[in-house]
Chains A and B, each alone.
Chain A
Amino acid sequence: MSSFRTAKGGRIKRKDAISFSFEGKAYTGVKGDTLASALLANGVHFVGRSYKYHRPRGIMSAGQEESSALVGIDRGQGRYDTNTRATTQELFEGLKAQSQHCWPSLRWDIGEMNSLASPILSAGFYYKTFMWPKSFWKRVYEPIIRKSAGLGRAPRAVDPDVYASRYAHCDVLIVGGGPAGLAAALAASRSGAKVILADEQSEIGGALLSDPGSRIDDEESWSWLASAVVALAADENVTILNRTTAFGYYHQNFVGLVERLSDHLESPSSNLPRERLWRVRAKRIVLATGAIERPLVFAGNDRPGVMLAGAARTYLNRYGVRVGDKPVVVTSHDSAYLTAFDMAENGVGVEAIIDLCTDVSPELLKGAARLGIEVLPGHTITRTKGRLRISSIYAAPIEPDGSVGPERTIDCDALLMCGGWTPSVHLFSQSRGTLSWREDIGAYVPDVYAQNASSAGACDGHYLLSEALNGGAAAGQAAAIEAGYKAGKPNTYEVAEEATCSGTLIVELPTGANPARIKAFVDFQHDVTAKDIRLAVREGFHSIEHIKRYTTAGMATDQGKTSNLSELAIASKTLSRPIAEVGLTTFRPPYTPTSFGAFAGRSRGNLFDVTRKSPIDSWAEKRGAVFEPVSLWRRARYFPRDNEDMHAAVARECKATRSSIGISDASTLGKIEVVGPDSAEFLNRIYTNAWTKLGVGRCRYGLMLGEDGFIFDDGVVGRLALDRFHVTTTTGGAPRVMAHMEDYLQTEWPDLDLWLTSITEQWAVIALNGPNVRKLIEPFVEGIDLDKQAFPHMAIKEGKIYGVPTRLFRVSFTGELGFEINVPSRYGLTVWKRLIEEGARYDIVPYGTEALHVLRAEKGYIIVGQDTDGTQTPDDVGMAWAIGRNKHDFIGKRSLTRPDMLVSNRKQLVGLLTRDPKNLLEEGAQIVATAHPSPPAKMIGHVTSSYWSETLQHSIAMGVVEGGRARMGAELYVPMPDGVHQVQVVEPVFYDQEGGRLNV
């Protein structure tokens, strides 16, 4: 057993020794230790370096508020945890911890030189220098600043762990498993309410875990705690979550919790998630989040060995560790006496209690006298000594006039300080509750609640055990009643011989030295001193938010848990304004730093977003298709054979389609069925086109605008019956179009009698294009006469193919004879395979989206989203013909007559041909009117689509050009990185202008 372990007591398992290492050196701890308690048991206080000055830092606290004892934990294989608080890391066999932010070693850190320069490294110094010469900023200063920045080591490998998440609903969520939370849980659960009790520590119990000496209802506190936990665990309506931090309090009692499942285990099973995010919606919330002890601000308050008094008591009582053999206590609050007494009773020679207050209660003085501890009331600490560990302090009396009397040295190996307690109101504040300042306890406490919640115990400013228990019980009972349960009178608890617990808010200790010359730390990690805060105020930073941002006080990894109130008090004094007027900075989630993994959960890799696949996708995959994502879908882009590149594959696919048959999967196109007597009228209002006169069995290309007059979507609409339309949309636009239609139907035209059904997933769509298509399918189609008169271009009919029901469209997006075979999705793959089989005799070729784009561009068909970009009107793309001239109104119509829609130089869609047929323009390339443009050059348009046309043996392009249609035949220029290309403006139809191939 190591030298600072007590002989008995604590909640550790002394017989279960655990080996671990820190800085490569082997140590032994025991089961139940944290890394911090195990290090302290081995006499190690000095564990880290501060951010700016690289001062030696020791362990300050025993909990999550730790700002100084940050280490890296290396579990191997991508499991490196940076900035881990030694005070919350549970010890496990083989744990490897490393110090951080020091080089070459923790003991000899070159960065400590910053400490020498500290007089000029005052708050905000970097805003005042590094500006000359200007060129040095980028080449010299900035690289140095960035190199010296940061804290923990950056991760280098991918984390193999998984993270889980779940939702939960409960009647009462209790945050904090200390005495108040336990009493609340007991009271609420008794009513039958569904309760979740969450506590961040490894064990439920909170402050009770450090307090074995109290007696609750004549029972030892640890025995009471054990029975309480047993009772709650036995109640099936109660969920107890330890190692679980409530990190965020959101709207309507929605709270985020993170449960740590494996960080404390030596070798977690591989299927155990590392953490689990709980999203809890509670009818009522009881906050029992406790309080955090405040440090004191004085010269030399930062040496290793200086720690919070309450933490020393926790190490002693919970972990069986003496943090020193001759500690000194300095305090402005009674609670530190308990630490001194408990240590003395465990045989530690407490050198002195330096009490900043003069009127110490007689009981405390009596207690000290009984244990032989010298009390120095009305004294201060003026400075301390010791480089890597505190070795002595200088105490001096505070004279009635506030000056400081003669100093006296006291040797020590630990200095235990207490500046009172700060209620943890973080979650309360996040819930948008408002705080009020209580002068009597020197703390902000919850005042007005914004949500269904209450607070109990120390977080509400009630520090006594009896207050926590009784307040908790009352809050638990009230919460259950508010959640709709009948709850009897809550228990009342009696606590024997309760010590007083009061203090005075003295943050900065009186000193004889010039306060402008001493380093008295407020933020221990960020090296912010009282002097820095005064400097900020002097420089005009009077808002507490300004002071925080200028000095960086409270912005360290503890987010000001131990420093905020000191900062506030010093600012208030410097500004000569009461604390309540100075106010607080906003509390933000998360309460404690929370891993990205917990937020990301399972939403990683392929689960990051769904991938929608058509019924034919598996065939394409087997066939070696290269896919591209189109909105949430993936679509086959091309089907390479052998070692073809995209260019070769696309050329082959296009050629096959134009010469015989190409087959492609169009299932991803959006499909909406519009049914009802007013369907045609509805479509009249939704589309620019007129629908009333469209015959049954006929199709029409429809253009849809937003109310702003710009093209919103397009697609073919077929009329199956007088009151039934089959609408198609773009692949990406389907959800948008459906929402748009529903919106107008439900809210603008509820009088129209029709309904809309999304049928995208119901129908697989196989597009067949090419001169031989009719020959291929004719033998297998039943009930539809495919003759060109009976079933002309832009027709639709229901029938059967291969015995399967089909809605057969005769449409074409390629300019060839085309059919789109809609079959119920479950038959899609079968029909596709049959067509491929039967098509072999015509050398049928599957083609992907890329060939489709080429084929349609050869015909000048636009793609909404590529040839349009949300700023084009129908006229801009040469589709004024799609506007039903006699229609009184349709969505977007009014916008088309706004002044800017009528100007002559609007960008219009045109075709572009390069002078050299082999020259391929880049999509997105800009179009200019001059051969030698120099920036900033006037751009009159851009290339929207550009392809090599195998059919035409010429590159083709479409683009939008200012006043484009009036420029037919004109020469324009397209500057590209390799030079300026000359192009001719042409009609945007390159192939079969007459449309003869469509109508065969």
Chain B
Amino acid sequence: MKWEVVIGLETHAQLQTKSKIFCGASTAFGAEPNTQADAVSLALPGVLPVLNREAVVCAIKFGLAIGAKITERSVFARKNYFYPDLPKGYQISQMDLPVVVGGTITINVDGNEKAVSLTRAHLEEDAGKSLHEDFHGKSGIDLNRAGTPLLEIVTEPDMRSAAEAVAYARKLHELVQWIGICDGNMQEGSFRCDANVSVRRPGEPYGTRREIKNLNSFRFLEQAINYEVQWQINELEEGRKIQQATVLFDPDTGETRTMRTKEDAHDYRYFPDPDLLPVEITDAWKAEVQAAMPELPQAMHQRFTSEYGLSAYDADIITSSREMAQYFLDTVAITGAANAKLCANWIQGDLAARLNKEDKAIADAPISPAQLAGIVQRIVDNTISNKIGKDVFEVLWNGEGSDADAVIEAKGWKQITDTGAIEAIIDEVLAANPKSVEEFRAGKDKAFNALVGQAMKATKGKANPQQVNDLLKKKLAG
């Protein structure tokens, strides 16, 4: 009998606020240790937290984006435990009344759509960092990150494979960047996942879960889950029981190992933080945040398939980031909706490949939507071939021309569409290549392509390829 895999994810998304969640210290990454640790970050005696309103706005945005309930009166609670990088001896988090409750994120794995239900998303502060490099034989503590706002996003145990978990994590990663609440930088730890994994026989109650902590890449997420699932199945099949535990994934060995079991789990002694008042989120505040929300990827996807005739696959790619979607919209605004499909091809084809090769973000593309639209328009009106289009793209990418028309003009790449002129060239090609003509007549189709190639070469690629094809066929038949 088969095993069913059950996965739930908890994701910590670092919110893009300028200052920390409970004080005015900066959240910028990479500063010298403890240069962004003010009195509140250091938890000096007597200091008090004051909530950063922007962090709440981020949480509201997220809630609205996933169709969740926004709690009218949410409460901050203290999670008490001792650790050197936790300066107060407690983390301010939310327990009973998180800002966001419920909501769904739709994923697509191998063409199958699935809605993953979210349990909740709550605001909390990040801890600092322990630096274990040698400081005169001691560990150092960097509190720059202490107090950075996080949104912890928790799903129901809805995913049934590592592939689904990764699809969810990617979708969430796209969404939080799309709505501008998280920079999504996984290397810097701005977006990190914990995976709760268990296995069971189909139809049976949930098995005992183990939580894999701090996965900061999609690849590690997938590897860690797959390893963990196999490990759990082996344990069960060999008659052992799974102990509830927190485990760590070692990317070097590809294995998970137990960090602590339920017996040594903390009692966090949550209670409402008496230093902070409940957060009242009024309908007016929600409406204000809603009004400032960008169109969401799902809505755009819908629009791109229905209004612009893109395939679901193309629309997926174009809506994978807000910047790419905007680039597409800006391009189509010039070419017209009728040419949207061609625009999409260029963006996810040549443009994406080139960006990828040079490790550039689409926002930094040296070729603008207007320039790309110019290329598309000239292809559509037969001024240039698709192939010449690629050459124009290259020139514009390298900053050697202002727009497609100027490049075509300067390079003399205007397509030859005059039938008489093309016929004359074909005659020359046929006369110069009797062997190919003979082979074609003997039934070798390849020879036809060679003749087309010769004709194109003779015109430096400028002849309209369709016309060359048609006329050459006619000549050879005649």
Q: Do these two chains really belong together in a complex? A: no
Which residues of A line the B interface, CB within 8 A? none
Q: Which residues of B contact A (CB under 8 A)?
A: none
